[in-house]
Amino acid sequence: MTYKSIIFTVFTLTIIGVVNAEYSYPAGSDKRLGAVTIGEIGTYGSQCEKTSSFYFGLVLLQMMVIEAGWGVTEKLEQMKVVLEVSETDEYKQGANGMYREGCASYKQRLQTLSNNILEAAIK
């Protein structure tokens, strides 16, 4: 199998996966965007790092996303939301997006947002 045919096969399988995705939340809703973000953050934590101030900022971002999308502020209930969301195609979409983007690029893209969230939490 040649390199081009392998790339074509992977591309085709990706497109088929996106087309066949059964989304749990309406397009453009806070829940759909939140589920994708939770997938990205979860993947970053499992693939990249878990002990940096940047990651702590992402965890705070995840808490804000859950509050905005689901109206949940208590920690135990937020964990239940993460478990619920982790089984959705939206979560998988976010996880795959972060995985394709890579740790360094993802961190660079969200570093400013993470810093702003941390600064606001400290004040």
pLDDT digits (tens, 9 = 90+) for 13-65: 454 444 456 888 888 889 999 999 999 999 999 999 888 888 989 999 999 99
Quick check: is 18 in a domain? Answer: no
Report the mean per-residue pLDDT for the chain. 84
Mean per-residue pLDDT, 98-117: 91
Provide the number of structural domains found in the chain: 1
First to last CA, the chain: 58
Secondary structure letter of residue 119 according to DSSP:
H
pLDDT at 117: 87
Domain encompassing residue 116: 25-122
Quick check: is 55 in a domain? Answer: yes
Quick check: is 91 in a domain? Answer: yes
Within 1-123, residue ranges assigned H as helices are: 3-19, 30-47, 53-70, 75-85, 89-101, 103-122
Quick check: is 2 in a domain? Answer: no
pLDDT at 24: 86
pLDDT at 14: 52
pLDDT at 76: 93
pLDDT at 50: 81
Tokens found for residue 9: 């096969």
Nearest one of 65, 28, 52, 69 to 103, comparing CA atoms: 52
pLDDT at 6: 57
| Look-up of token digits 């390199």 | 3
How far apart (Å, rounded) are the C-alpha atoms in residues 77 and 73?
Answer: 7
